[in-house]
Structure 1
Amino acid sequence: MLRNEADSAVAVLDRVAPEVARPNLTRTQRTAERLRLARADLIVAGAYLSLAVLVLSGQWLHADRGYLIKSGQDQTMWEWFFAVTAHDVAHLHNPLGSSLQNFPDGVNMMANTAMFGVGVPLTPVTLLFGPTVTFVLVLTLGLCGTAFAWYWLFSRELVSSRFAAAVGGLFCGFAPAMISHANAHPNFVLLALLPLIGLKLIRMARRAIDGTEVSRGRRNKDAFVLGLLVALQIALGEEPLLIFALAFGVFALVYHLHAPKTGLRIVRTLAPPVLLAALITVALTDIPLWWQFFGPQSYRSIDHGPMKNDLKALFQFPSESLGGLFAHGQNVAINATEENSYFGWPLWIVVAVAIVLMWRERAVRAAAAVMALFTVLSLGASATIGLGDTGIVLPWKWLDHVPLLNSVLESRFTMAAIPAIAVVLVLATQRALDYWSVSATDWRPLALFAAMAFALLPLTPTILPVVQRAPTPAFFTDGSVRQYVSGGSVVIAPPPTAPDARALRWQVDSGFEFPLAGGYFVGPTGSSKKGRYGPDDRPTASLLLKAQQSNKIPVIDEANRIQALVDLRYWRADVVVLPPTDNADTLRLTLDQLLGFPAKYVDGVWLWDVRGLH
């Protein structure tokens, strides 16, 4: 039987904690009391941390040469971000931009999600243990930290049961999308600040509902904390912040639809401190944001092309899960790091039934609205089933042209459904425990927990697969490269690109002894300043890449040789290096003809000293 809403678990959102007189305690007694109260929190945090370490144990066990194979080249890119940030901090260089990649134009680090919010404070870790350790540490802390932050919000503002809150935190931190991004994208894994931002807004809103008199000092403190949290999240990732802000707004709107006057009172009360918080955020981030949008190598937007969820992705099991091991359906994800839905059909059944049974709960209705809206947005401009276009036009067709939104991969909008689903699971668990508190023989809690096990066990994450990467050529690690660099760049044959960015790792292992032509980053192209992955194509780079892919030596004429000199001048090249790679003989013979003299073999690489050519 459904209870009255005033007696429901979600009423905690609108309830003021009673004042309880506390006896005078000694310092030791107060410490013991805090530890007793925190015991559940510590147990939950320890469980989350253990699971995060287990999921990433393959990388932790091989932090020297291990590589998360499903990351493509993204792990190399993120390690470079952390390494170059630490290098810049240690040498007192400006970390917002770097010419060590894409020389001489450089890279706008703020426009490349460099995550200064962790890259800068973890500089000692990067310098002492290397960027791979920083990379896997951020991923590990991201999984467990995000889970615990949502647990904290649920346990303090939504339900009284720590167990129910722990279920929600577990789902938020280890949902399929989180595990998928844990292969390569720490900016979509370390999301712990988002629930803290939500928590601050909820507490401010509750005071407005209660009519609690708040001093100017308290309002200013709230504004400062909120502005600081948002500024820190900008330093960790702006795209997750945008998705969260939109989802939180939808949740709040639907939650207060039944009492619009209350909602308007909250808006009026919160407007001044929120505006002050926005000013504080701008003050803290104005220079980095200016650099991102107007600084060197900035771009206006990036055209990802269609990056949507397939309808099948909503109901299939993720590849890195128990369900995926036994019943992985058609591969309809963008790639292995973007399984942003993959909730599995059992979970949707359980959530749908729970929503129907708890529809009177305002938080359930609001969560259902978030799930529906953002899932539809994630399907892109038209719905596809099994990669086949249905022709059904969806809202994203018009929203795709909205500034800021058009830079979001639409598939990622479904990540807003993760905390919304968690809210339903948390409230359902709390209700089941409430039933048990009335009658220990009530069958309904057992039915609910059996259904939740049926829905969640297939989503249990497995250990992310790791391979051993090839060692860096000795030419880069023993100092030989210094003999061939005189203020110019090293041109790898072919220059590094998004499909093969290994040269970034070699540069890191050399201690940043040289800048690289080309690279893996996002930068502007042409006069439109449209963002793209990697630099504008140079003819010589394209020629070498084509020769490697076809394994055929192209016909080299005088025009090719002249163009090669033009490109070498553009790159300010000191040396062209051919490391061990696919079809290396074809590349070597092509470059011999292109440059007009044979290569020299030094410390495991072929090289052409081109300082005398330009």
Structure 2
Amino acid sequence: MSQTQPSDRSSSSPDPHIPAGAGPVDLTVIVPAYNEEQRLAPTLRAVRAHLDTLAPLRWELIVVDDGSTDGTSAVTGAAAAEEPRIRLLTTPANRGKGHAVRTGVLASRGRRVLVTDADLATPIEELGLLTERMDAGAAAAVGSRALPESRIAVRQNALREVMGRLGARLIRAAAVPGIRDTQCGFKLFDGDKVRTAFAGSRLDGWSFDVEILRFFHQKDWEVAEVPVRWAHQPGSKVRPLAYPTVLADLLRIRLHAVRPVQLVIPGIFLLLAFFLYGGLWSGPGSSYLTDSGSDQQQWEWFFAVTADNVAHLRNPLFTGLQNAPLGVNLMANTAMLGLSVPLAPLTLALGAPVTWAVVLTGGLAATACSWYWLIAKRFVRSRWAAALGGGSCAFAPPMISHGTAHPNFVVLFMMPLITDRLLRLCEGRRVRHDGIVLGLFLAYQIFLGEEVLLLAVTGLALFALGYAIAAPDVAKAVARPLLRGLGIAALVSLPLVAVPLAWQFKGPQSYQSVLHGQVGNNPMALLEFATRSLAGDAKVAASLSLNRTEENAFFGWPLVVLAVALVVRLRDQPRVRALGFTALAAAVLSLGQNIPLLGTDKTLPGPWRLVAQMPLFESVIESRTAMVCAPALGILLALGCDRLAVRRLRSERETSRRMLGWTALTVALLPLLPTPYPTVQRAPVPAFIADGTWQQYVRPGRSLVPVPVPSPADTAALGWQIDAGLGFAFPGGYFNGPWGPERIGIYGPQPRFTSDLLGKVAESGKVPDIGPQQQRQFDWDLDFWRADVLVLTPRDHAPALREAVTKLSGQQPRQLGDTWVWDVRDRG
């Protein structure tokens, strides 16, 4: 560090650059200069002349010669000889503009400090505009070339302009929200604040502007952006690669500033996710989650098909590989295109099972990190309280239950980001910007999961209602910017999703709603423990839920009691009352249309009846509404933990209360700790498929028919298809598709004679009577499916299935290893 760098000085040490006995001044003007001999003299004359017109303003002008090799110092020295308020600081070597400005700022005495470039691309006369904004209360006023009111006299060349705009947008998104032009060299600062900022700065190059403005942003010191006159000056030292350098320097600074706890907490979440899915990672290609039923195979197929569509530039919203020849509307299924498309390279390189493991593990950890970030930013002071809340939101029993089979209910990292953007809209500061970002977030979430977005919107609406009841004046004040922002978000998101949604609801193999019956929670499910919870009982959970992937409540009675206690204890906060209302309302909605009266065979009408027939809600499994309780309870826990962690000890009574609080948290959360997901070895792919023999029997555009025809209960053929490189199509399968003239959504294909008959034989082992009529229907189905071959592999009731197909086809099969094959290419 050069001798001119005063960042080491303490507040009690005199600065060697300030003349002895000199008093404070109103304005310090700092001009960093490197080889500016040709331009500096007129600049100093112009600055001096303008400042003299502002009498009785007390000013000083500091030129920092950053190791120039020309006559820059001599020019400044001559000016200083004429005007004692001009000072020269020099560095022995060129260190960069940031170092020069830091040197000048830390040597300044001004109540305000103006930094301006030696070329005066922005005329000194524009100082008055910046001063007006400072007088209005801003801590800094920066000249901007990017505002509509800015006046550009001489433009840069096209490359500079493009690089400048792109770089400014990246910088704004990454570091300095709201400032369009961070690099304009004409900035006015509050003197004390800017000296504080530069005292801790480290960047010596062009990136210093971003570092300082980011410091002001973090301190919540207002930075006003002011339109100014500007003209490009020949000889500019800023090169097109300056903006990437700024971003690289910013990344380095941000990584250096990360506190250990900010890495430890996400690391804990990631380790916990790996702990839960350890069995899956022990062999992604061979391990199968025991409780996932057919869903793991279906999801791996979604990932594989999407990657194949991307690789071959096909429509990612549709495939003809299942349900031949009708195909599957992927947008109408939970294909999670928001992840399956960007992860296509991973799927193509390492296989769909690896993508499945990455999505589950990474999605769970990312969701916990996202909730942790929101809670730390918006609700609590203690990082560890935020971590507890974030972990409770992501690893709550309903999410762990869905984590065995439904990544669309596990990968929820967008929900905290959407919530934060809504809260920003309520603040009303940058409604248009936040509305645009919210629209982009909503559009992306639609490609991650629409049902979970609907549930999130329901939860947010309940919170808004609860807050309006708790604090009507606040709700009234935020309504206008919130509604305006939501309108902007709609205008942004709808064009982005219009075509995919039209394909989903009106395209091939679209449907209107999904039939699933009334599936509300039993009230006791809210108080018991889930199968995968430390205190869980599989039999009890099974008696209160649809299956192990739909244990949508199971928060445990200790947590419910603690949540009630927290709402009562913190009831003075409107947000707490709103959170309590949200959790209670969601829990009641999850009980469905008919709420059972415990101990009787009677029911009460449930509030879900109000929304059961509404569009979109008619397809929702109502018990899933209890998942809305998870973030509400998680935030309540974080608030309670923060109260315990931050409050200082004041008395023995206070100590007892804190001990009671920590004990209650332990009792509520310890039984809910998740246990690892068990796995089994998946069945191997038949040699007929694995060794490529199938290629001798299936012609292009034709299908292979597994026996029995694939269904949601029998998805082995999806794995065969993946192993075969998606080289053949087959009828049936596991997907959501239409049924009947009203196009009601069902799981699997529309029933056909052959698929129904073979399904019953596979289930019972009994072969029905088969005559000419059944054989004709069989032929019609083969013709409809464009079948070339039927394949039967070892399985339960395989002899009965072989007999049934032989009678239907009228031909004996050929045995290839352990596989029976009926070649039907010549039929019809």
The partner residue of 1:476 within 689, 700, 704 is 689
Q: After TM superposition, give the deviation of residue 235 of structure 1 in Å.
A: 0.5
1:461 aligns with 2:461: no
The letter for the 2-side match of 1:41 is Q
- Residue of structure 1 in register with 2:804 after alignment: 590
- Residue of structure 2 in register with 1:196 after alignment: 417
The partner residue of 1:154 within 365, 369, 375 is 375
Structure 1 CA distance for aligned equivalents of residues 638 and 691 of structure 2: 56
- Residue of structure 1 in register with 2:726 after alignment: 512
Contact 1:154 1:165 in 2 (8 A): yes
After superposing the two structures, state which structure 1 stretch, 602-611 or 494-503, moved more.
602-611
The partner residue of 2:705 within 487, 491, 497 is 491
1:134 aligns with 2:355: yes
Q: The residue matched to 2:536 in structure 1 has which SS?
A: helix
- Residue of structure 2 in register with 1:23 after alignment: 197
Q: After TM superposition, give the deviation of residue 437 of structure 1 in Å.
A: 5.4
Q: How does 1:155-174 map to 2 (within 5 A)?
A: 155-174=376-395
Structure 2 CA distance for aligned equivalents of residues 37 and 473 of structure 1: 52
Q: Deviations 1:31-77 (Å, cap 9, x if unpaired)? A: 56764444322111000000001001110112111100101101111
- Residue of structure 1 in register with 2:246 after alignment: none
The letter for the 1-side match of 2:362 is L
The partner residue of 1:564 within 778, 781, 793 is 778
Structure 1 CA distance for aligned equivalents of residues 657 and 339 of structure 2: 45
Contact 1:561 1:595 in 2 (8 A): yes
Q: The residue matched to 2:635 in structure 1 has which SS?
A: helix
1:310 aligns with 2:484: no
Contact 1:86 1:123 in 2 (8 A): yes
Q: The residue matched to 1:322 in structure 2 has which SS?
A: coil
Q: After TM superposition, give the deviation of residue 567 of structure 1 in Å.
A: 0.7
Q: Which runs of 5+ in 2 are unaligned?
A: 1-191, 212-251
Q: How does 1:347-358 map to 2 (within 5 A)?
A: 347-358=559-570
The letter for the 2-side match of 1:416 is V
Q: Deviations 1:224-260 (Å, cap 9, x if unpaired)? A: 2111111110000001111111111221232233443
Q: After TM superposition, give the deviation of residue 607 of structure 1 in Å.
A: 0.9
1:84 aligns with 2:298: no
Structure 1 CA distance for aligned equivalents of residues 332 and 253 of structure 2: 48
- Residue of structure 2 in register with 1:522 after alignment: 736
Structure 2 CA distance for aligned equivalents of residues 246 and 592 of structure 1: 54
After superposing the two structures, state which structure 1 stretch, 435-444 or 135-144, moved more.
435-444
Give the fraction of aligned pairs with identical amino acids, expressed as a percent: 43
- Residue of structure 1 in register with 2:229 after alignment: none
Contact 2:424 2:434 in 1 (8 A): no
Q: After TM superposition, give the deviation of residue 311 of structure 1 in Å.
A: 1.3
The partner residue of 1:185 within 386, 395, 406 is 406
- Residue of structure 2 in register with 1:320 after alignment: 532
- Residue of structure 2 in register with 1:125 after alignment: 346
After superposing the two structures, state which structure 1 stretch, 36-45 or 501-510, moved more.
36-45
Structure 2 CA distance for aligned equivalents of residues 293 and 233 of structure 1: 17
Q: After TM superposition, give the deviation of residue 157 of structure 1 in Å.
A: 0.8
Query: Structure 1 residues 387 and 44 mapped into 2: Cα distance closer, same or farther (>3 Å)?
Result: farther
Contact 2:470 2:578 in 1 (8 A): no
The partner residue of 1:336 within 531, 535, 548 is 548
Structure 1 CA distance for aligned equivalents of residues 687 and 773 of structure 2: 35
Q: After TM superposition, give the deviation of residue 27 of structure 1 in Å.
A: 2.8
Query: Structure 1 residues 594 and 277 mapped into 2: Cα distance closer, same or farther (>3 Å)?
Result: same
Find the structure with the greater CA-based Rg. Answer: 2
Structure 2 CA distance for aligned equivalents of residues 158 and 255 of structure 1: 15
1:228 aligns with 2:440: yes
Contact 1:142 1:190 in 2 (8 A): yes
The letter for the 2-side match of 1:196 is L
Structure 1 CA distance for aligned equivalents of residues 598 and 804 of structure 2: 43
- Residue of structure 2 in register with 1:297 after alignment: 509
RMSD of aligned residue pairs (Cα, Å)? 2.0
Structure 1 CA distance for aligned equivalents of residues 303 and 203 of structure 2: 42
1:610 aligns with 2:827: no
Q: The residue matched to 2:535 in structure 1 has which SS?
A: helix
Query: Structure 1 residues 219 and 353 mapped into 2: Cα distance closer, same or farther (>3 Å)?
Result: closer
- Residue of structure 1 in register with 2:754 after alignment: 540
Structure 1 CA distance for aligned equivalents of residues 657 and 316 of structure 2: 57
- Residue of structure 2 in register with 1:16 after alignment: none
Q: After TM superposition, give the deviation of residue 575 of structure 1 in Å.
A: 0.7
Q: The residue matched to 2:659 in structure 1 has which SS?
A: helix
Structure 1 CA distance for aligned equivalents of residues 442 and 538 of structure 2: 41
- Residue of structure 2 in register with 1:10 after alignment: none
Q: The residue matched to 1:462 in structure 2 has which SS?
A: coil
Q: After TM superposition, give the deviation of residue 602 of structure 1 in Å.
A: 2.0
- Residue of structure 2 in register with 1:277 after alignment: 489
Structure 2 CA distance for aligned equivalents of residues 386 and 179 of structure 1: 27
Give the TM-score normalised by the residue count of structure 2: 0.69
Q: After TM superposition, give the deviation of residue 336 of structure 1 in Å.
A: 0.5
Q: After TM superposition, give the deviation of residue 422 of structure 1 in Å.
A: 1.1
Contact 2:431 2:481 in 1 (8 A): no
Contact 1:310 1:387 in 2 (8 A): no
Contact 1:519 1:534 in 2 (8 A): yes
- Residue of structure 2 in register with 1:6 after alignment: none
Q: The residue matched to 2:548 in structure 1 has which SS?
A: coil
Structure 1 CA distance for aligned equivalents of residues 319 and 490 of structure 2: 29
Q: After TM superposition, give the deviation of residue 385 of structure 1 in Å.
A: 6.4
1:70 aligns with 2:291: yes
Q: The residue matched to 1:301 in structure 2 has which SS?
A: coil
The partner residue of 1:374 within 577, 582, 586 is 586
Structure 2 CA distance for aligned equivalents of residues 490 and 269 of structure 1: 57
Contact 1:332 1:386 in 2 (8 A): no
Structure 2 CA distance for aligned equivalents of residues 84 and 438 of structure 1: 62
The letter for the 2-side match of 1:404 is L
Structure 1 CA distance for aligned equivalents of residues 565 and 539 of structure 2: 23
The letter for the 2-side match of 1:456 is L
The letter for the 1-side match of 2:418 is I
Q: After TM superposition, give the deviation of residue 387 of structure 1 in Å.
A: 10
Q: After TM superposition, give the deviation of residue 535 of structure 1 in Å.
A: 0.7
Structure 2 CA distance for aligned equivalents of residues 189 and 89 of structure 1: 24
Query: Structure 1 residues 548 and 388 mapped into 2: Cα distance closer, same or farther (>3 Å)?
Result: farther
Q: After TM superposition, give the deviation of residue 397 of structure 1 in Å.
A: 2.6
Q: The residue matched to 2:738 in structure 1 has which SS?
A: strand
Contact 1:400 1:406 in 2 (8 A): yes
Q: After TM superposition, give the deviation of residue 317 of structure 1 in Å.
A: 0.8
Structure 2 CA distance for aligned equivalents of residues 32 and 534 of structure 1: 53
- Residue of structure 1 in register with 2:664 after alignment: 451
- Residue of structure 2 in register with 1:246 after alignment: 458
Q: After TM superposition, give the deviation of residue 439 of structure 1 in Å.
A: 5.8
- Work out which structure has the larger RCO, using CA pairs closer than 8 Å and 6 or more positions apart in sequence: 1
Q: Deviations 1:530-550 (Å, cap 9, x if unpaired)? A: 000011111111111112222
Structure 2 CA distance for aligned equivalents of residues 318 and 529 of structure 1: 36
Query: Structure 1 residues 439 and 118 mapped into 2: Cα distance closer, same or farther (>3 Å)?
Result: farther
Give the TM-score normalised by the residue count of structure 1: 0.92
The letter for the 2-side match of 1:338 is E
Of Structure 1 and Structure 2, the greater helix share is in 1
Q: After TM superposition, give the deviation of residue 482 of structure 1 in Å.
A: 1.0
The letter for the 1-side match of 2:697 is Y
Q: After TM superposition, give the deviation of residue 514 of structure 1 in Å.
A: 0.4
The letter for the 2-side match of 1:108 is N
Query: Structure 1 residues 421 and 97 mapped into 2: Cα distance closer, same or farther (>3 Å)?
Result: same
The letter for the 1-side match of 2:280 is Q
Q: After TM superposition, give the deviation of residue 204 of structure 1 in Å.
A: 2.2
Contact 1:110 1:292 in 2 (8 A): yes
Q: Which runs of 5+ in 1 are unaligned?
A: 1-18, 209-213
